[in-house]
Structure 1
Amino acid sequence: MRSSAEAIHEETVEPHPHGTPGEVFSAFLKLGLTSFGGPIAHLGYFRDELVVRRKWIDEAGYADLVALCQFLPGPASSQVGFALGLLRGGPLGALAAWTAFTLPSAILLVIFAMAATAFDGPIGAGLLHGLKVVAVAIVAQAVWGMAKSLTPDRERAGIALVAVLIVVFAAGAAGQIAAISLGALAGLALCRNGPVTGTTHLSFRVSRTVGTGCLAAFFLLLVGLPIVAAAVDSQGLALFDSFYRSGSLVFGGGHVVLPLLQAEVVSSGWVTNDAFLAGYGAAQAVPGPLFTFAAYLGAVMGPAPNGILGAAICLAAIFVPGFLLLLGALPFWNGFRKQPMAQASMRGANAAVVGILGAALYNPVWTSAIVGAHDFALALTDFLLLVVWKAPPWMVVLGMGLGAVGLAAI
C-alpha cells in the first residue's frame, strides 16, 4: 500500500512549467497554418516539429500519447496537441495549443460559410489534390521515423505487421482499438526483456482529483444535456447538446464524425444537404483538425444562433468531450506507463501504432491522393525533401500548394 506522502507527491502540481504559453501558442500556430492532410498527417507534423526539432518529448513518450488518444473518443490529433501543450506550458499552454491549432481552419471555414464560393473550379480542385499529395509524404516520413525507433527488433516488427493486417481486414475505429489492444497483450509476452525506462516523467500537472472530476463532468454532460435541452426551449442549448454528443461518440478521428453530424444537422433541417457537402469539401482544403467543420456548420445554421456565435458554440461543444476524457485519463496514465509490465505492454502498443500509421499511409492517404505516375513522382520528391534534405514541412506544403495551383491554371 502506498504511503500518504507518496500519494501526495504523486498528485503534486509542479509550480514552474518547462515553457511558456506564448511559446506553445507560437509553435502550434505554425502547425495550425501548415498541417494539411487530416489527423494521421497531423501526427506526423507534430512529431517533426515538437519531438524531432524542439524535443519537447521523447519518441517513446510521444508514441504513448498517440496510443492513449487512439483509445479515447474525440479528435485524436487535437487531443495529442492539447496534451503536448499541457506538458510544455501547463493549463494555459494546453489552451494555447488548442486555440492556435484550431482557429486558423475555423476562421477559414467561417469565411467560406459566409462567402460560399471558395475552392470552386479547377484551381481549387488542383490545390486540394496537391495538398493531399503532400500528406502522403508527411505520413510516410512519420511512419519511417517511428518505425526506426519503435520497431527495432523482430518481435515488435511482427506486432506492427499484425496490426496492419487487423486494420486492413477490420476497418474503422474498432480495428484500430483491437490492433492496439492486441499489441499491448503481445508486448507482455514478447517485449519483457527491454530496458526499464523510468527516467522520463510526463508531468501533465493534473491531479487525480481533477482527473476524476473531468470524467464525472463528461458523463454528466452526456446524460444531462439531452434532458435539459428537451425541457428548455433554447436553440443554442440544442446545438451544444447535438455537437457534444457527436464529439463524445466518435472513435478514429474527424472523418468518422461526419455521418453523425449529418444526421444531427441535415435531418433536423438546420443545414441543407448541399450546404453540408460544400462545407465538407472546403474542410479538406484547410489546415488543422477536421472537427473545425463544426464551425462552418454553426455559421450556416438556418435558425439562430448562427454566424460567428453559432460557430463558436458548435466548435466548443464538439471539442469539450474529448478534452474532458483526456484530462480524466492523464493522471492515471503517467503512473501506469512507469511499471515494468506496463512498459512491456506499451512497447507492443507502440509497435501497433506504427502498423496503424502504416496502414493509414495506404488508405485513406495514398488511395485518395496518388492517382497516377505524376502524383507518385511528386510525393516521392516531397518525401526526399523532408527526409534527406530536411526541408521544413511548411515549406514543402507551401511549394506543393503553389505548384498545384499553377498546374491547374495552365
Structure 2
Amino acid sequence: MTETPDAIQFPRPSRFLEILGVFFRLGLLSFGGPVAHLGYFHEALVKRRRWISEAGYTDLIALSQMLPGPSSSQVGFALGVIRGRGLAGGLAAWVGFTMPTVILLLAFAQGASAFREPWQIGLLQGLKLVAVAIVAHAVWGMAKILGSDKRLVAVTVVATVMALTLQGNWAQIAVIVMGAVAGLVLVRGGDGPDISHVPTVVSRRRGACALAVFAVLFLGLPVLAEITGWHVLDLFVGFFRSGSLVFGGGHVVLPLLHDVMVAPGWVSVDDFVAGYGATQAMPGPVFSFAAFLGAVAAPAPNGVLGGMIAVVAVFLPGLLLIYGMLPFWNALRGIGSVQAAMRGVNAAVIGLLAAAFYQPLLTSTITGVTDMILALAGFAALVFGRAPPWLVVVVLGGVGILRGISGLG
C-alpha cells in the first residue's frame, strides 16, 4: 500500500464532522476506563461502521499497548487518522472523545463536592457494572479472532496469567514481549488468518517529525523550565512527563499525577481524591482527570486555562507517539518473523484484556449476588439482545441510583 504524501490535509467537511460526531457520542457514553472504551470502539467502529477490520483493530490495540500514553485515546486517535486520511481526522476523534469529560470536570472543579450522597454512590456502582458488561462483551468478541488455533489460545492463557501475577508498570511490556517470542517460536510458518494491514495514511516523513517533536519536548522542556523558572512550564512538564511514562494509561497514571500535583502542594489531597471520584463517575478517558487538577491547582495558571494546559500536556506524548509510529507499523509487520511475532502479540493482547476484566474491574465491582445478576443481564443484553451500549448505561445507571436511594445492596 502506498503512502499518502499529503496526509495532513483536512478531510471533506462531511467526513470531519462525521468523525467528530461519532467520537463525541462515544465520549458521552463510554464509561468504565480504557478497557471498556476499547469495547465501545469495537462495537461502534469495527462491527457496525467497519472503519477497520477486526484484525487491524487488534493491531492498533497492540501498538498502543507497546507505547506509553492513554491506550484507548491512542486507538481512537488512530482510528480518526485512518478514517479522515490524516492528522485532522485524528484531532477530530480526540476532541470529540475527550472534551465531554473535560467540560464536565472543569465544571466540577468550580466547587462541586465529591460523590458522597447515596444516590451518587449508587450511580457510580451502576456505571461500574456497565463497564463489566461492556468489557466482557469485548473479550467475548475479540477471543473469536483466535479461532481454533490451540497455539494462540495457549498464548492468550499464559498472557492472562502473567498479567494477573506480575506487578509494576512493566508487566504489560513483559506480556507483550512474551507474546512476540511465543509467536516466533510457535506460530511462524503455521497456517492461520493473515495479519491485516492498518491503512497507511501518514507519510514516513511526517511520522518521523512527530517522533522527533516528542523527543525534543521530552528532553528539552524540563531544561527550559529550569532555566526560565516559569510555573506554567513546570505545570506543562509535570503532565507531559506523566503522559510519557505510563504504559496502558487509565488508572496507572494516578500515582504519577499525585507526585506531580500533591507532593509540591499545588493540589490538596482532599481535592485530588474528590476529583478522582468525579472522574470515576464520568465517561471518557481517565487522563481527563488532568483537567480537574489543572483547574484547581495553585498558583496560577488554573481555572479553565490551567485545565486545558494540563489536558493538552498529558495527552500530547501518546498522540505524537502513535501518529509517529503508524507509517512504520506495516513495514515492520510485513516481515515474516514480525508477522509471526504480531500474531503472538495479538493473542497476548486478548489475554491482557481478559486479565484487566478480572482485575481490577470484576474484583472491585462485583460485591454481591445482585451485582453479578445485573452485570450478567447487561452482558446478555449486549450479546443476545444486541442492545446499544448507551441503553445499558441508562438502565444500569438508573438501577444503581434506585439501589442507592433505597439502601439496597
TM-score by length of 1: 0.94
For the 8 Å contact 1:151–1:351, the answer to whether it is kept is no
Q: Which ranges of structure 1 fall in alignment gaps of 5 or more residues?
A: 1-5
Measured after TM superposition, the shift of residue 187 of structure 1 is 1.2
Aligned partners of 1:185, 1:293: CA distance in 2, in Å? 36
Aligned partners of 2:228, 2:363: CA distance in 1, in Å? 46
For the 8 Å contact 2:64–2:71, the answer to whether it is kept is yes
Measured after TM superposition, the shift of residue 290 of structure 1 is 0.4
Aligned partners of 1:47, 1:168: CA distance in 2, in Å? 24
Q: Which residue of 2 aligns with 1:31?
A: 26
Aligned partners of 1:237, 1:151: CA distance in 2, in Å? 50
Residue aligned with 2:202, SS: coil
Residue aligned with 1:171, SS: coil
Q: Which residue of 2 aligns with 1:261?
A: 257
Aligned partners of 1:16, 1:310: CA distance in 2, in Å? 29
* Counterparts in 2 of 1:363 and 1:135: CA distance versus 1, 3 Å: same
Q: Which residue of 1 aligns with 2:340?
A: 344
Measured after TM superposition, the shift of residue 189 of structure 1 is 2.3
CA-to-aligned-CA distance 1:108-160 (integer Å, 9 cap, x gap) = 11111113225331111111111111111111111111111135321110000
Residue 122 of structure 2 corresponds to residue 122 of structure 1: no
1:105 to 93, 101, 106: 101
Q: Which residue of 1 aligns with 2:293?
A: 297
Residue 50 of structure 2 corresponds to residue 55 of structure 1: yes
Measured after TM superposition, the shift of residue 204 of structure 1 is 4.1
Residue 65 of structure 2 corresponds to residue 67 of structure 1: no
Q: Aligned ranges for residues 265-280 of structure 1 at < 5 Å?
A: 265-280=261-276
Aligned partners of 2:296, 2:336: CA distance in 1, in Å? 52
Q: Which residue of 2 aligns with 1:308?
A: 304
1:404 to 400, 403, 407: 400
Q: Which ranges of structure 2 fall in alignment gaps of 5 or more residues?
A: none
For the 8 Å contact 1:112–1:118, the answer to whether it is kept is no
CA-to-aligned-CA distance 1:264-314 (integer Å, 9 cap, x gap) = 111111111110111111110000000000000011012111100000100
Q: Which residue of 2 aligns with 1:135?
A: 131
Q: Which residue of 1 aligns with 2:215?
A: 219
For the 8 Å contact 1:11–1:208, the answer to whether it is kept is no
Q: Which residue of 2 aligns with 1:377?
A: 373
Percent identical? 53
Whichever residue aligns with residue 78 of structure 1, its letter is S
For the 8 Å contact 2:239–2:314, the answer to whether it is kept is yes
CA-to-aligned-CA distance 1:204-263 (integer Å, 9 cap, x gap) = 421111111111111111111111111213222221111111111111212111111111
For the 8 Å contact 2:29–2:393, the answer to whether it is kept is yes
Whichever residue aligns with residue 113 of structure 1, its letter is A
Aligned partners of 2:172, 2:263: CA distance in 1, in Å? 29
TM-score by length of 2: 0.94
Q: Which residue of 2 aligns with 1:91?
A: 87
Q: Give the count of matched residue pairs.
A: 402
Whichever residue aligns with residue 31 of structure 1, its letter is L
Aligned partners of 2:347, 2:193: CA distance in 1, in Å? 17
Q: Which residue of 2 aligns with 1:3?
A: none
1:45 to 35, 40, 43: 40
CA-to-aligned-CA distance 1:345-389 (integer Å, 9 cap, x gap) = 211111111111111111011011100000000000000000001
Aligned partners of 1:16, 1:342: CA distance in 2, in Å? 33
Q: Which residue of 2 aligns with 1:189?
A: 185
* Counterparts in 2 of 1:150 and 1:22: CA distance versus 1, 3 Å: farther
